[in-house]
């Protein structure tokens, strides 16, 4: 067996070898040598004092005897946020501390300003994580008379394998024509009021008006229409989310498209009418087109089979959010929105400096949409792979199941976003809650926490964590 004294001597000699380069570069490495010496001393000390551990964690092993400790230097975004230098004289550069160099070639200044953690990433980033950000403003927009639609799917963000989104706008009275999809459709109304209609496989119909902050959901294959009311003179805009990453809004089953591709005599036979009835059927799809303000839902036709017993809409805006230190949150899944069997969500507001706590989702991918404010997310993908992304209003984020992450408000205003999951039941695992509920000796063995600190770990989930001054000492060091 190799003796500890032998290991210590080898480490010491390696420290001398590290310091051996010519004096011209010695100053560059002096801090590294000092750090190495401190690490050797810490290693020797930890070996000699393994028994001097608090009674409640007396069985804990020395936690970091074989590896260095993490750096406590802050890794704030270097510009464009409440913690960074935003003076007019500041020029973003690909530098963080002594790392990197200035940019001397062409650069897109506006993109750089919005993404400080890409040009000058935190030193805690490592390895490789696929792009987890897509601005809807970069999506091709399909312009129609009466509105428009733009989408995010795996064509533009391959990382988002299991969900896709569409941002759609309808002018007052405009109609997204009768259609259906192979996937489920979940919606959050951003502005205005949308009237939805559908008929289920049992011939039961359902018509409802859906306002800002409210939801609708259509299972796969269920036909529906969407129409803007005149309650808001601007009409309506809403976010659609689909439980398939390769979904395309251009591949839906449209009423006019089907009719145009069915022989007229077959149409006449099917509807038991004269063929001339179909003289004004459009020869190609309408998709989005102008219309008149819809009648109230109470004016819908009465079905002999009755009204659909399970609502396709949910008045999410009337749900009171949970207020905690740092912001608010509220959760929706099939336990309350019964028909939504493949998508759950949470709506979150974060105060400046607050975070959505470190956590992960066991089996559900997360699709984010940022409504207001600015924030950042570090995605931890295991095996030393981690990457930080910055988000603004209108951006889409994506985090696959099991990958650790947080959301931090880096701006001066409230950060408002929604988290959407491809599941019937919302689930997450909180890092701090996990550590609070395992034997304290294990936590100390891994992380070197004191008994006093371990006793403060929350035994219930925090979800959000308010801003703190705990980093101020490190910031000024």
Q: Binding site: what residues are annotated?
A: 179, 181, 185, 224, 359, 361, 366, 405
Contact 205, 263 (CB under 8 A): no
β-sheet bridge partners, residue 289 = 175
Contact 423, 341 (CB under 8 A): no
Catalytic residue among 231, 347, 419, 452: 419
Binding-site annotation, residues for Mn(2+): 179, 181, 185, 224, 359, 361, 366, 405
For residue 285, indicate whether it is catalytic.
Answer: no
Tokens of 366: 């997360």
Q: Which residues pair with 207 in a beta bridge?
A: 197
Contacts of 6 (CB under 8 A, 6+ apart): none
Count of beta carbons in the 10 Å neighbourhood of residue 155: 13
CB 240 within 8 A of CB 166: yes
Ramachandran class of 257: left when φ > 0, alpha when ψ lies in -120 to 50, beta otherwise = alpha
Separation CA 310–CA 332 (nearest Å): 16
d(CA 310, CA 176) in angstroms, rounded, equals 23
Q: What amino acid positions are annotated as catalytic residues?
A: 419
């Amino acid at each position: 067996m190799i003796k500890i004294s032998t290991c210590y001597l080898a480490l010491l000699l390696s420290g001398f070898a590290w310091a051996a380069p010519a004096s011209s570069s010695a100053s560059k490495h002096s801090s590294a040598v000092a750090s190495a010496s401190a690490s050797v001393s810490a290693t020797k000390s930890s070996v000699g004092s393994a028994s001097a551990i608090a009674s409640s964690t007396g069985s804990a092993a020395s936690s970091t005897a074989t590896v260095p400790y993490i750096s406590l230097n802050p890794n704030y975004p270097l510009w464009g946020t409440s913690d960074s230098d935003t003076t007019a004289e500041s020029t973003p550069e690909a530098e963080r501390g002594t790392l990197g160099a200035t940019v001397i070639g062409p650069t897109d200044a506006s993109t750089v300003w919005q993404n400080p953690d890409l040009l000058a990433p935190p030193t805690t980033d490592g390895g490789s994580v696929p792009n987890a950000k897509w601005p809807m403003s970069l999506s091709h927009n399909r312009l129609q008379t009466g509105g428009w639609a733009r989408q995010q799917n795996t064509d533009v963000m391959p990382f988002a394998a299991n969900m896709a989104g569409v941002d759609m706008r309808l002018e007052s009275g405009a109609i997204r024509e009768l259609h259906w999809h192979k996937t489920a459709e979940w919606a959050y109304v951003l502005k205005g009021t949308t009237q939805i209609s559908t008929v289920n496989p049992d011939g039961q119909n359902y018509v409802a008006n859906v306002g800002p902050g409210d939801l609708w959901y259509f299972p796969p294959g269920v036909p529906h229409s969407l129409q803007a009311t005149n309650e808001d003179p601007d009409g309506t805009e809403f976010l659609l989310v689909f439980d398939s990453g390769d979904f395309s809004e251009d591949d839906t089953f449209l009423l006019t498209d089907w009719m145009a591709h069915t022989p007229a005599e077959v149409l006449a036979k099917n509807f038991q009418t004269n063929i001339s009835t179909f003289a004004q059927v459009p020869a190609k799809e309408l998709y989005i087109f102008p219309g008149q303000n819809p009648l109230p839902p109470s004016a819908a036709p009465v079905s002999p089979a009755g009204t659909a017993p399970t609502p396709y809409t949910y008045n999410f805006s009337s749900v009171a959010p949970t207020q905690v230190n740092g912001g608010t949150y509220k959760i929706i899944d099939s336990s309350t929105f019964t028909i939504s069997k493949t998508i759950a969500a949470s709506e979150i507001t974060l105060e400046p400096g607050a975070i959505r706590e470190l956590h992960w989702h066991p089996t559900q991918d997360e699709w984010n949409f940022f409504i207001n404010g600015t924030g950042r997310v570090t995605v931890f993908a295991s095996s030393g792979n981690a990457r930080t992304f910055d988000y603004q209003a209108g951006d889409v984020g994506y985090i696959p199941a099991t990958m650790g992450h947080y959301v931090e408000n880096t701006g001066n205003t409230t950060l408002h976003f929604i988290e959407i999951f491809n599941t019937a039941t919302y689930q997450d695992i909180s890092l701090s809650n996990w550590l609070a509920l395992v034997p304290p000796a294990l936590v100390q063995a891994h992380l070197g926490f004191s008994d006093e600190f371990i006793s403060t770990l929350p035994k219930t989930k925090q979800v959000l964590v308010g801003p703190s001054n705990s980093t101020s000492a490190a910031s000024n060091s």
